[in-house]
């Protein structure tokens, strides 16, 4: 089982020769499961000396960072989570400085923060507080000072939290190893002690980190430090990467269910009938005997009982579904009682797949298509807001209920940015979705994005409006990506407005950077002409209507010959 990181801490702070200590620092080690999913957050801040409320600024910054980071969604990356938290903190400090202290420097502080997650240090920095790394005798500063020299004796901060409406933060990452030591310090320490002196103090007193921190403060004071002095030492005892054996044992804890048949009862669910059976999973209609509600049970295939990668994918699908809340995404139910077996409980939806609907409606009008595509887009938006990419949008993974509401199903191929930070490379197989609807970047080995889902949505819209697939059977190789060309939708459907054909081509561009970037823009482009579509020159007649072109050319030659004959008779 993957476990969170483990650290040892030492810290000390003094006001020094100043009357007030404007420094703040802190570390928050959450309980599981946040320890694994979000990691350990740590920070140091130094209230700017010219600030009216430097202490309040630094303390607010550190406390808010440590608490609010763990309030962000677990599917978000560390970078996204911290960026949103720091943006909110900066806005609050700046507004307080302007309204309460009537000054641009009312509440300003430096900030150096680090999140340790999945053996990776995520570093966020603004100002001149610092973070160092000591590894096997090598001492390295991981941050850079944001200072500007305005005279031979005076330096000013060029970046800080609360100094402007817009916050500029340096972001970097660094893999961490067991035995690494991190040092967080304010300028009252590092401006008066050399790197060699800091390493010497750590080397001589490193077994007791609290004692080491006190010795650093004392040494800086002895070196005539005239500022507040704060340092925080963090030793990485375990960066958080689990062994393969422990991880596999965790995945195998719950046994696979037996083969289920109508009338059987499993964990309080009575099986009515099977809905879908494949080599990878089984889906059953069942009744919750306690509530009387109809639900769907999805069980793993015994063919993969000894496949840890498959088991992780199966269990992750449930977790993904629990993170999403949209009327256009199939609801995964959180189990209210202990489960003896591995399975997923989902809402039961009476209806048909979009694939079945398309067979029943081979020539839908454009209004119907726009409505269905808009609902799918709303479901996709729920994924994208959580930094998730569905990766397998296709007609058979979309259900239309009896009220006409569209719901996205099957999250087994979903890519979750926050999970990818924890999981190492090579733990799971590549996920490519279904060939007919998969974006070309999957075959090119490029990282997928929201635009990959937009491509798949574009394929569905194209197919609904033309009855064809834009690139035939799709891309089976990188060679196909280069070879296959898009047939404009209006060539298959002569009644289709040209601007709609343009919108489809834009969403289906083989290069992601030239593809429609937003779901909302794709919907707008389907609804009304994009100005860019009007600037595209009309196609040559030979391409739009070859028969008319050749007839016109033949007629022109005939007229020319008649004229030549007539003049020749004169």
pLDDT class of 244 with cuts at 50, 70, 90: very low
Is residue 555's pLDDT more than 80? no
Q: Are residues 250 and 194 in the same domain?
A: no
Q: Is residue 162 part of a domain?
A: yes
Least Cα distance to 27 among 41, 8, 12, 45 occurs for 41
DSSP 127-138: SS-EEEEEETTE
- Number of domains into which the chain is organized: 3
Residues 286 and 331 in one domain: yes
Q: Are residues 62 and 173 in the same domain?
A: yes
How much of the chain, in percent, has pLDDT values that exceed 70? 89
pLDDT recorded at residue 476: 83
Can you state the angle between helices 244-251 and 308-323, rounded to 10 degrees?
Answer: 60
Structural domain harbouring 70:
6-242
In a domain, 563, yes or no: no
Q: What is the mean pLDDT of the chain?
A: 87
Last residue of a domain, one of 294, 322, 347: 347
Q: 227 and 272 in one domain?
A: no
pLDDT at 242 over 50: no
According to the model, what pLDDT value does residue 231 have? 96
In a domain, 552, yes or no: no
In a domain, 358, yes or no: yes
Q: Could you tell me if 100 and 218 lie in one domain?
A: yes
Burial 100-112 (b: 16+ CB within 10 A, else e): eeeeebbbbbbbb
The per-residue pLDDT for 568 is: 61
Q: Are residues 498 and 486 both part of a single domain?
A: yes
Q: At what angle do helices 498-507 and 450-466 cross, to 10 degrees?
A: 140
pLDDT bucket at 248, cuts 50 / 70 / 90: very low
The answer, yes or no, to whether residue 474 has pLDDT greater than 50, is yes
Of 324, 347, 370, which marks where a domain is finished?
Answer: 347
pLDDT at 538: 44
200's CB contacts (< 8 A; 6+ apart) are: none
> pLDDT tens digits, residue range 148-190?
877 666 778 899 999 888 999 999 988 888 999 999 999 999 9
Q: Is the pLDDT of residue 477 over 60?
A: yes
Pair (165, 276) in one structural domain: no
Q: pLDDT tens across 384-415, in order?
A: 998 899 999 999 999 999 999 999 998 888 88
Tokens in use for 568?
């020749």
> What pLDDT, on a 0 to 100 scale, did the predictor assign at position 433?
63
On whether the CB atoms of residues 453 and 386 are closer than 8 A, the answer is no
Residues 337, 355, single domain; the answer is no
Same domain, 298 and 382: no
pLDDT value at residue 102:
75
| Whole-number pLDDT of residue 419 | 57
The CATH number assigned to the domain holding 338 equals 3.30.200.20
- Tell me the three state secondary structure of residue 523: helix
Q: Kindly state whether residue 482 falls inside one of the protein's structural domains.
A: yes
7: left (phi over 0), alpha (psi -120 to 50) or beta: beta
Query: Cα dist. 453→416, 435, 456, 460, 503 in Å?
Result: 13, 13, 5, 11, 15
Residue 297: strand, helix, or coil:
strand
- Asked if residue 88 has pLDDT above 60, the reply is yes
User: What's the length of the chain?
Assistant: 570
Residue 337 predicted with pLDDT over 90: no
Domain boundary among 284, 316, 347: 347
Q: What percentage of the chain exceeds 90 in pLDDT? A: 61
In whole angstroms, what is the distance from residue 147 CA to residue 512 CA? Answer: 39
Helix runs in 6-133, H state only:
34-37, 54-68, 78-99
CATH number at residue 506: 1.10.510.10
Residue of 155, 73, 156 lying closest to 108 (CA atoms)? 156
Radius of gyration of the chain (CA): 31
pLDDT given for residue 124 in this prediction: 97
Q: pLDDT tens digit string along 8-64?
A: 999 999 999 998 999 999 999 998 888 888 899 999 999 987 777 889 999 999 999
Looking at the fold, whether 367 and 426 belong to one and the same domain comes out as yes
Q: Is 549 domain-assigned?
A: no
If you ran DSSP here, which 8-state letter would residue 345 be given? Answer: E
214-228, 311-325, 352-366: least confidently modelled range: 311-325
Higher pLDDT, 63 or 319: 63
Predicted pLDDT of residue 82: 95
177 plus 281 within the same structural domain: no
Q: Half-sphere exposure of 221 toward its Cβ, with a 13 Å CA cutoff?
A: 16
412 in a structural domain: yes
Q: Is residue 553 included in any domain, yes or no? A: no
Q: Is the pLDDT of residue 481 over 60?
A: yes
Q: Are residues 441 and 342 in the same domain?
A: no
pLDDT of residue 402: 92
Least reliable range by pLDDT among 18-32, 369-383, 436-450:
436-450
């Amino acid at each position: 089982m993957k476990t969170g990181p483990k650290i040892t801490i030492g810290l000390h702070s003094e006001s020094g020769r100043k009357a007030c200590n404007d420094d703040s620092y802190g570390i928050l080690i959450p309980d599981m499961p946040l320890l694994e999913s979000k990691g350990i957050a740590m920070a140091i801040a130094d209230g700017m000396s010219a600030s009216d409320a430097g202490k309040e600024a630094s303390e607010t910054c550190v406390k808010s960072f440590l608490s609010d980071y763990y309030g962000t969604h677990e599917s978000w990356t560390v970078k996204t989570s911290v960026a949103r938290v720091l943006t909110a903190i900066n806005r609050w400090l700046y507004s307080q400085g302007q309204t309460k202290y009537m000054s641009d420097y009312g509440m300003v502080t430096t900030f150096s923060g680090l999140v340790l997650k999945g053996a990776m240090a995520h570093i966020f920095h603004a100002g001149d507080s610092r973070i160092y790394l000591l590894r096997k005798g090598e001492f390295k500063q991981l941050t850079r000072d944001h200072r500007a020299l305005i005279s031979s004796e005076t330096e000013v901060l060029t970046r800080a939290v609360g100094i402007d409406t817009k916050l500029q933060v340096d972001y970097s990452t660094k893999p961490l190893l067991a035995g690494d030591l991190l040092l967080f310090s304010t300028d009252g320490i590092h401006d008066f002690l050399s790197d060699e002196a800091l390493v010497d103090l750590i080397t001589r007193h490193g077994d007791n980190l609290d004692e080491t921190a006190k010795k650093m403060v004392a040494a800086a004071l002895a070196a005539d430090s005239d500022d507040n002095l704060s340092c925080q030492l963090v030793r990485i005892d375990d960066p958080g990467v689990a062994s393969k054996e422990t991880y596999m044992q965790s995945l195998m804890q719950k046994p696979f269910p037996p083969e289920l048949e109508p009338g059987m009862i499993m964990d309080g669910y009575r099986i009515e009938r099977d809905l879908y059976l494949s080599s990878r999973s089984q889906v059953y209609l069942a009744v919750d005997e306690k509530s009387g509600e109809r639900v769907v049970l999805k069980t793993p295939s015994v063919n993969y009982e000894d496949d840890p990668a498959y088991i992780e994918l199966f269990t992750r699908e449930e977790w993904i579904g629990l993170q999403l809340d949209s009327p256009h995404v199939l609801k995964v139910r959180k189990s209210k009682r202990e489960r003896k077996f591995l399975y997923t409980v989902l809402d039961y939806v009476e209806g048909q797949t979009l694939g079945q609907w398309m067979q029943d409606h081979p020539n839908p009008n454009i209004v119907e298509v726009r409505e269905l595509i808009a609902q799918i887009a709303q479901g996709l938006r729920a994924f994208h807001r959580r930094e998730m990419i569905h990766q397998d949008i296709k007609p058979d993974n979309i259900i239309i209920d009896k009220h006409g509401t569209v719901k996205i199903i099957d999250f087994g191929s979903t890519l979750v940015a926050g999970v990818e930070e924890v999981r190492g490379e090579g733990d799971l197989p590549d996920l490519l979705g279904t060939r007919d609807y998969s974006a070309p970047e999957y075959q090119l080995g490029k990282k997928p994005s929201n635009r990959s889902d937009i491509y798949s949505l574009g394929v569905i819209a194209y197919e609904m409006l033309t009855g064809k697939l834009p690139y035939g059977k799709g891309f089976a190789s990188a060679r196909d990506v280069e070879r296959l060309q898009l047939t404009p939708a209006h060539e298959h459907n002569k009644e289709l407005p040209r601007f709609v054909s343009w919108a489809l081509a834009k969403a289906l561009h083989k290069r992601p950077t030239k593809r429609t970037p937003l779901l909302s823009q794709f919907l707008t482009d389907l609804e009304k002409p994009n100005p860019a579509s009007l600037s595209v020159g009309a196609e040559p007649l030979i391409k739009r209507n070859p028969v008319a072109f050749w007839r016109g050319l033949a007629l022109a030659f005939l007229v020319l010959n008649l004229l030549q004959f007539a003049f020749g008779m004169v």
